[in-house]
């Protein structure tokens, strides 16, 4: 037992009498290295002590610890727990602590690395390999399709096993139309696309599934029929000015949203920015490979560069990670996820009283503003990195000044 652990005597007793006794120091070092606060370390030790007591009662062996044992503790023991004071019973806190415990034990070689050997996980691994090396899909697309196909396979399996030969036309149609929870045209398109991609993968493996591919329903979709949601110039200014009232990480949020409004970046592109991507002397920023599988070099506007520099100098924590935008809470030394960008934008909309929620609106707004100022459509398409000029054509629908100049008189209108 690590003598530096400060906790209730009963907590220390549970740890000391368990199979985890000699590994508490390893766990604490793991937490300290990732910058967790003392209070968090204390809570996680209490959670591990509860788990350790249960392991002792179950006479569990240390080499057998894995995710399944943790799930059994959380789903079977915790709901009916009658362990004495001062046991911790907060499920989300215990789950987080035990996830870190397993990671620490695996990193130190105490228990085996995680093995995803069940049939569905193996199938998803093959599917991901196909999407990456055969289709060349981006990681966000692969992650989305893998989640959809996992639910699809779980819906089609019999007992604990999945067999591609058991896939049926009715099963495919039912899942695409209603099995994913929604039946909108957009959802049918996304889910149907994922299922088709999976069936192509299975066909490449030699399965005879042509009849299943033909059974995947499609939703009617007419390109460029709708109008993009936009913010006016005044609304964009109000949005950018709202970050001064933010208490937590205001400069990071402001710099991220500046990248969205000034450069038209996607949320996934913002979080992928590296310190080496910004050329301060030339005033350019290099974007990593995106949906087109190629990088781009864009001019860095002065206000955008100033916002990034202000964040780097005064708010970004000390870290060895080369990402521009990093986590401000433990575990440190990690870049943020795209969800942090989306949350920053949604909260900014709420502060400004706007009913919008989507990050992509800022990208649409930039394109519309450039078009209204006379920028050629080709330059807008290049800035937004559109694969086809047709994708940028939708912004001409909201340029009312130019549309009015070419509008024909309505038949029968009195002059």
Count the neighbouring beta carbons within 10 Å of the beta carbon of residue 131.
Answer: 23
142 is catalytic: no
The answer to whether 261 and 240 have CB atoms below 8 angstroms apart is yes
In 3D space, the residue among 166, 223, 185, 203 whose CA is nearest the CA of residue 176 turns out to be 185
Q: In what order do the strands lie in the sheet with 296-299?
A: 278-279, 284-287, 296-299
Burial class of residue 235, CB neighbours in 10 A (0-12, 13-18, 19+): middle
From the list 291, 346, 351, 397, the catalytic residue is 291
266 is catalytic: yes
* Helix intervals (H) in 75-206: 91-107, 119-133, 139-156, 169-174, 185-204
From the list 258, 363, 364, 385, the catalytic residue is 363
Count the neighbouring beta carbons within 10 Å of the beta carbon of residue 83.
Answer: 16
In 3D space, the residue among 271, 290, 267 whose CA is nearest the CA of residue 345 turns out to be 267
385 is catalytic: no
**Angstrom distances, CA of residue 359 to CA of 76, 156, 167, 247, 366:** 40, 35, 38, 21, 12
291 is catalytic: yes
From the list 36, 44, 254, 395, the catalytic residue is 395
From the list 251, 266, 327, 356, the catalytic residue is 266
- Residue 31 in tokens: 């937490």
From the list 42, 200, 360, 397, the catalytic residue is 360
Q: Annotated catalytic sites, by residue?
A: 266, 291, 360, 363, 386, 395
């Amino acid at each position: 037992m690590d003598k530096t652990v400060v906790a209730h005597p009963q907590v220390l007793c549970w740890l000391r009498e368990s199979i985890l006794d000699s590994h508490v120091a390893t766990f604490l070092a793991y937490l300290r290295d990732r910058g967790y606060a003392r209070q968090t370390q204390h809570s996680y030790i209490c959670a591990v002590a509860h788990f350790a007591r249960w392991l002792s009662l179950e006479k569990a062996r240390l080499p057998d610890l894995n995710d399944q044992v943790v799930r059994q503790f959380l789903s079977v023991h915790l709901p009916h727990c009658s362990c004495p004071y001062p046991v911790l019973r907060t499920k989300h806190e215990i789950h987080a602590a035990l996830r870190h415990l397993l990671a620490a034990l695996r990193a130190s070689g105490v228990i085996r690395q995680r093995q995803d050997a069940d049939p569905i996980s193996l199938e998803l691994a093959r599917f991901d390999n196909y999407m990456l090396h055969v289709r060349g899909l981006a990681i966000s697309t692969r992650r989305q399709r893998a989640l959809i196909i996992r639910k699809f396979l779980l819906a089609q399996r019999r007992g604990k096993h999945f067999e591609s030969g058991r896939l049926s036309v009715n099963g495919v149609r039912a899942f695409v139309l209603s099995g994913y929870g929604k039946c909108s045209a957009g959802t049918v398109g996304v889910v149907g696309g994922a299922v088709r991609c999976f069936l192509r993968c299975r066909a490449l493996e030699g399965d005879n599934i042509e009849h299943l591919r033909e059974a995947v329903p499609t939703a009617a979709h007419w390109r460029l029929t709708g109008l993009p949601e936009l913010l006016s110039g005044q609304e964009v200014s109000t949005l950018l000015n709202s970050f001064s009232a933010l208490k937590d990480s205001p400069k990071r949020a402001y710099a991220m949203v500046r990248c969205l409004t000034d450069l038209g970046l996607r949320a996934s592109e913002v979080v992928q920015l590296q310190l080496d991507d910004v050329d301060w002397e030339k005033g350019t920023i290099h974007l990593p490979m995106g949906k087109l599988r190629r990088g781009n070099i864009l001019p860095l506007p002065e206000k955008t560069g100033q916002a990034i520099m202000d964040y780097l100098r005064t708010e970004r924590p000390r870290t060895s990670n080369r990402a521009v935008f990093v986590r401000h809470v433990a575990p440190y030394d990690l870049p943020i996820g795209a969800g942090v960008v989306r949350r920053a934008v949604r909260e900014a909309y709420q502060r400004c009283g706007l009913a919008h929620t989507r990050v992509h609106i800022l990208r649409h707004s930039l394109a519309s503003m450039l078009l209204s100022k006379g920028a050629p459509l080709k330059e807008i398409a290049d800035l937004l990195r559109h694969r086809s000029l047709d994708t940028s054509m939708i912004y001409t629908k909201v340029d009312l000044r130019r549309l009015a100049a070419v509008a024909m008189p309505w038949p029968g209108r009195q002059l």
